Each structure stands twice: as C-alpha cells, then as structure tokens.
Structure 1
Amino acid sequence: MMKKIGIQGIKGSYHDQVAKEYFGDSIEVNEFLSFDELVDSVVSGDSNFGIMAIENSIAGSIIPNYALIDNLNLNIVGEYFVNINHQLMVYPGVSFSDLKIVSSHPMALLQCKKFFKDFPKITLVEGKDTAEEAKRISENKIKNTGAVASVEASKLYGLKIIEKNIQTIK
C-alpha cells in the first residue's frame, strides 16, 4: 500500500523534496498550507506521516512546531537534513529591473534578508509557501513579481531563475 505523506506546502516545495528523498517516489503526497492542517491530517490518519521543519539555520528551533508535536503526543520517527538553496525566479521575459515585489514563505524571505537589503525598492510580501508563490506567478502571468523558491519549483511552474542561491547561509 502506498504511504500517504503530509507536507506543509505544495509540489515543488522543500517539504515535497524531503518527502520524496526520505520516502522515495512511491508515495502519495497530501498538501497543506499550514502546519496545523498537516498535523490534523496525521492525527486523523489521512496521512501516515508528516514532514515538518523543526530546526532552521537562521531562526533556530521552530518552537510552534515542537509545540504541535508535544501537544498532540506525536512522535518524531525520522530526521532529514536539507541544504536550502533559494532561487529568485520570475515569469519568462521579466528582468530583475522589472521587479517591484518578491513573495515567498516568511522563513524563506528571512533566509534571504541579506540579499534583498541591497534592493530597498523591492517590496517583500509573505505568502503561505515558496512553491505556492511560484505557481501563483506562473498561473496568473504576473510580470512585476518574483518568487523565492527551489529549482524544482522553477521547473514545475515554468519560471526563469534570475538569481541563484540567494540565501544568506550558503
């Protein structure tokens, strides 16, 4: 029977990447835009396992996620370390000088803070997920907005990477 893995995010997100690398490709991925929804899915049995970030090189321990695990008596059954490499991507034909807004998950924006400090005219906008923002730009053909997401997200949603590895910690 195929394992059902709950992730925070959508296809092309870092949690999606971890689910596939940890469990292999023969899985069914359940996508959620919040950790609360993800945990509810595990508790209800709709997901056999959940992929949840609990540590971060910039923010340290992600206390709300530890609290979710503790409050619901969940168990950590595995650990996976992933190097996060953020890319700045845009709709094809858009150049860096066209950007007015960059959107991504709040943690991704925090991880790229040093890069964006040099571009004060770009407004950073928090979204629910890195890949979700890439998908939104692609589907709506948004020309003045970039996304911070993974290489996989750029491939899945047909966006052009204009700056590579923009995270502060390499």
Structure 2
Amino acid sequence: MKKPIAIQGIKGSFHHQVAQQYFSINAEVVECMSFDSAVDTLLQGDTDNIVMALENSIAGSIIPNYALIDNYNLSIVGEYYLDIQHNFLALTGQTIASILEVHSHPMALLQCKDFFKNLPHIKLVEAEDTADVAKQIAKQGIKGIAAIASKNAAELYGLNVLAESIQTIKHNETRFVIVKRKNDEIERKGLNKSSLKFELNHKRGSLATILNVVSDCKLNLTKIQSLPKIETPWKYAFFVDVTFKDYKDYKKASSIIQLMAENYKVLGEYKNTRL
C-alpha cells in the first residue's frame, strides 16, 4: 500500500504544491506543522517520503533541516525548485484599505516587507504556516486580517487575491528535497548530483585541500554550507552539493575525501534538476 507524503504545513502550502508537482496532482499528504514532526512520521513508518525545503534564493539555507537529515541518517533522493509567488489573500469583499493585519510565516513576511512599507496601517504578525492562516480566515470568516500565501491556497479555501506576486524580489525560488529513511532504489544511470557531509579541523588549508580534490576530479561545487560543531569548539561540519558528468569521477572524489576528512557521509545521490 502506497503511503502518504509528509509535508511541512497544510494543503495549499508550497510544500503541498511541490508534492503535487513532483509526485502526482492527487498525491495524498500528511500535514505536519514542523519539520521535526514530519521527520517523526518518516521514522515511525507512517510515511516513506518527506518534502523538505532546504534553501531559498533570497533568504539562504535552512540550516536546521541540514541537521535533521544528518542527525537521523536520512537520505536525499531527489530535488525540486519551485518559483515562490506570494499573494495577498483575504475574504471576498475585503479591500487592502480594510485590512488591519496580515498574518504569515516569518519567511514570507521577510520576503514581502517592501510591499508593506507602503501600507503602514497594516500590522505584520508572524504565524506558523502560510496556508493555515488562509484556511483559518476562510473557516472563521475573519475580516480585517489577510494572509500571504499561494494562489493554490486562495483557490482551495475560497479567498480573494487582493494583490499578486508581492515578494520584493520577483525571481524568488526555493529548493526542496525529497527525503527517505534510506535510498534502496539507487540506479546509477542518470545520477549526476550528490549531497555530502564531512568535518574538518580548524587549521590552514584543510578546506582548500578538499576543494582541490573536487576540482581535480572534474566535479562542480554548487553549494557549500558550514555548521559549527557545538560540542567541539573550532570544528566545523560542511554540507556540500556537487554535480558531475561521470559517476566514476564522483566515486573517485568521494573515496579521496573520505580518507582526508572526518565523519564523511553521503546524504544523497540523485538527479540534478537545474541542467
């Protein structure tokens, strides 16, 4: 029996949109109000896949999610880039002038702050989930409060779009990954991207040496994110994404880095969707 897909947020959220576009428009989902609870559904066997946002072109990396994947030894099996379009939603009959507050996720508020500079009468209020705000406004018939959410949420919950695409930077993309407990279905054919994690001591040239291996083995470094080891001062974990044309080149680099770095781990091997 096919299990549902865990998403952070509810139906109408951007995570839900990715689940529909990556898997199926009719994909069944488990709604989770945090990434931790989404991971719990995976660990408990209630789901086989999580849709998880990992980085945004404006706000950068979502570092706690790197840690979740690492700490629970999960596996990235795919990725999806979604063009994030934020919309100003309210009950039918409401106008921008009648709105006193807008509620949304802190990330959405941050990405739309310039729009609200011109609307000083509107108070910005942080909420857990963009789509959940839209749902509650519709369900409770709340006037004077608006949401920032997707057009999917507007259609799903019957809200009116007061303004479209209100994010400050119009090209606003988020990279989502598909996460499993373990990837037992790896087929080398078509694989051309990998996510790696390793640790290095805080000494001169340690990272440069690794990057030289990446270059010498004909890999392209597309992402590097450092995370301090809290329990070990001046030691860092690095999360790296590389792309490659030849799987043999990647395996060679992987073998060398494993010898040079500590606690080396392959977080996932999958297809690059940004070709």
TM interval, shorter chain, is over 0.9
Superposed, 1:104-119 pairs within 5 Å as: 104-119=104-119
Whichever structure has more helix as a proportion of its residues is 1
Superposed, 1:31-110 pairs within 5 Å as: 31-110=31-110
2:100–2:122 contact (8 Å) kept in structure 1: yes
Question: Which sections of structure 1, spanning at least 5 residues, go unmatched?
Answer: none
The equivalent residue for 2:160 is 160
**Cα distance per residue 1:116-140 (max 9 Å; x no partner):** 1222221111111111000010111
Greater relative contact order, per chain length (Cα 8 Å cut-off, separation 6+): 1
The equivalent residue for 2:151 is 151
* 1:26 positional shift: 4.5
* 1:114 positional shift: 1.4
d(CA) in 2 for partners of 1:67, 1:148: 28
The equivalent residue for 1:9 is 9
Q: Larger Rg: 1 or 2?
A: 2
**Cα distance per residue 1:79-128 (max 9 Å; x no partner):** 00000001001111111101110011111111111111222221111111
CA-based RMSD of the aligned residues comes to: 1.0
- SS of 1:21's partner is helix
- SS of 1:120's partner is coil
Whichever structure has more strand as a proportion of its residues is 2
1:131–1:150 contact (8 Å) kept in structure 2: yes
* 1:27 positional shift: 2.8
Report the AA paired with residue 95 of structure 2.
S
1:2–1:26 contact (8 Å) kept in structure 2: no
- SS of 1:54's partner is strand
- Equivalences, count: 170
2:3–2:46 contact (8 Å) kept in structure 1: no
d(CA) in 1 for partners of 2:61, 2:51: 15
1:3–1:27 contact (8 Å) kept in structure 2: no
Matched, 1:137 2:143: no
The equivalent residue for 1:18 is 18
TM-score, normalised to structure 2, is: 0.60
